[in-house]
Structure 1
Amino acid sequence: MGKLPDHVTRAEVAAALRLSLRQVDRLAAAGTLTKKKLGARRSGFDREEFDRYLKSIGEGEGYASPVGSFSFTLPPESPLTCNAVAAKLDEILATSLPGCLVNAADGAVHIVWNAALGYTTEQILQAV
């Protein structure tokens, strides 16, 4: 069996992390991964750097990155419903922190995101 190339393409990174190409580009723009020129019209990432990154986020089964999550309940006296709050948060996070999924279930609001995006609970709370 041959040696793996010393680079991974954007598409390989997107497939491994289950992200869109746009989200992979955001990782590169944020400095999380460093882009590497592969040719006149192609770019990718250093394989060793990508492997280190996968290990740093917990890698998961089959290179699927773990998810981050945050849940909260509303006070009983709140005039708002969980569904209304979830809908508003989804609207806000769709533009400020793309890749977050917001759901209302079991009397709570749940926010889930792919950990490869690098978001923290603090960032999400600041965005809303």
Structure 2
Amino acid sequence: MPTPHEQAQADLTAYGLALPETDLVPGGWADTRYLRVRGKGFAVLGDTSHDALTLTIKLPISYEMVQDLPFVRQGSPWYRQNRWAIAHFGPEDDILAEMDTLKGWLRQSYVAMAPKRLGRLLTESGA
């Protein structure tokens, strides 16, 4: 039986891969994976050790709004300047309660990083 964090990772990965022209590749660090659209990363999934999950996504619209959430960590100056947010869920956090939010963030990050034609297809379809 998967842990809630493993289930969330599987669900978020499947959601990301269902977006047009995406793929999943190993990350540059141990136990990280990149969701990409046409070779451009739009999410980094990692840190599944010790029943935890970290998701790094670009949030050009809602970056400031998410900073006060208890599971959002402060990134380096580069992350802040480029509006990449880091969501970290530890063993005690109810990650499954945040799945709709996280999927919305994945979508926002995808649209920000995808070629305009693909981003428009997604926003026009309401998918």
TMscore range, shorter length? under 0.3
Larger of the two Rg values belongs to structure: 1
Give TM-score, length-normalised by structure 1: 0.27
